[in-house]
Structure 1
Amino acid sequence: MLHVLLHMAETNVPMTSEALANMMKTNPVVIRRVLAGLREHQLVCSAKGHGGGWQICRELETITLHDIYLALDKPTLLAMGNRTEAPGCLVEEAVNNALNQAFHEAENLLLERFRSVTLAQLSADFHQRKQAHGFTGNHEHSIFSGE
């Protein structure tokens, strides 16, 4: 979703879900569903009809990764987990307890970092990389992704 939002940030016109889906190689329905959640949190706006589409409706400096995380209904941050949630072995219970504490601490650190990173910072990083690679003009997706 960050990829989609940064593409949206680069344009001065609304982007259709079809155009975004084409860039992301997914179905427009998937894009619309996710962006609808972001719209509920007032991160993006949409307009119907000719010239309509999706746009970021707040300043990039005011949107943090944490805002996006919340708008996406707090997706799982860490793919790792306990092998068995309710083990019958006391050793595995001790291991689970230690891992649960570590996972909780790691998630808290990550969420704290999310609160301090804005879309404006990601956009600035993109522009630095674009300049370093000698690209000028529009941000054609295929140019920057190596496709």
Structure 2
Amino acid sequence: MKRDSKLSGILHVLLHMLFMRRPATSEELGAMMGTNPVVVRRVMGGLREAGFVTAARGPGGGWTVACDPAATTLADIYRAVGEPSAIALGHRTEMPGCLVEQAVNARLDAAFAEMAAVFEQHLAGVTLAALSDDFNRRLAERGASLEDQTHAS
């Protein structure tokens, strides 16, 4: 079953961007996410529309964080990237007139909605600043600096 890691990838690059002293190019962000720069531009476009990042073209251009990390929750980012499904489960819809299928789907829909609400509620309780603080704590525990941080560590 394929996992949707878009939210995780975007949070990853946003944290990197918070520590960068210059704009990040789509190519750099693509390398961080392990994806094509075109995919990065598409996803970052949603964040730009929501006001979380800005982009500048040309030499020295790229993406920068435009929001206050202390006021931006992971739920805000989740909504800006299109609210990817938090679960890979679904229900059958091959026979919508079947009363058995209707009964099963009604119960599953209720459970799916409840899981989605709990997931979004959890995300709403975590800010980008808190995520950054967690990273900084882990970095300090390792006795490392930002310059020492690599994706292989």
Q: Does residue 1:46 correspond to 2:55, yes or no?
A: yes
Identity %: 47
Paired residues of 1:23 and 1:141 also in contact (CA < 8 A) = no
Superposed CA RMSD in Å reads 1.9
> How do 1:94-113 residues align onto structure 2 when only pairs under 5 Å count?
94-113=103-122
* C-alpha distance in structure 1 between counterparts of 2:62 and 2:109, whole Å: 42
**What is the deviation of 1:77?**
2.2
Q: Secondary structure at the match of 2:104?
A: helix
Instruction: Kindly indicate whether residue 65 of structure 2 is the aligned counterpart of residue 56 of structure 1.
Output: yes
What residue number does 2:31 align with? 22
Deviation, 1:89, is: 5.0
- Which residue is 2:3 aligned to? none
* 1:20 alignment partner AA: L
Pair 1:15–1:69, CA change in 2 (3 A): same
In the comparison of the two structures, how many residue pairs are matched? 144
Segments of structure 1 that go 5 or more residues without pairing to the other structure are: none
- Name the amino acid aligned to 2:16: H
| Residue in structure 1 matching 2:42, options 33, 45, 56 | 33
Determine the C-alpha separation between the residues in 1 that align with 2:45 and 2:101. Answer: 42
Query: Structure 1 pair 136/82, CA: closer, same or farther in 2 (3 Å)?
Result: same
5+ residue gaps, structure 2: 1-9
Matches within 5 A, 1:1-147: 1-84=10-93, 86=95, 90-138=99-147, 140-144=149-153
Cα distance, 1:86 vs. partner? 4.0
Shift of 1:13: 1.1
Question: 1:63 and 1:91, CA in 2 relative to 1: closer, same or farther beyond 3 A?
Answer: same
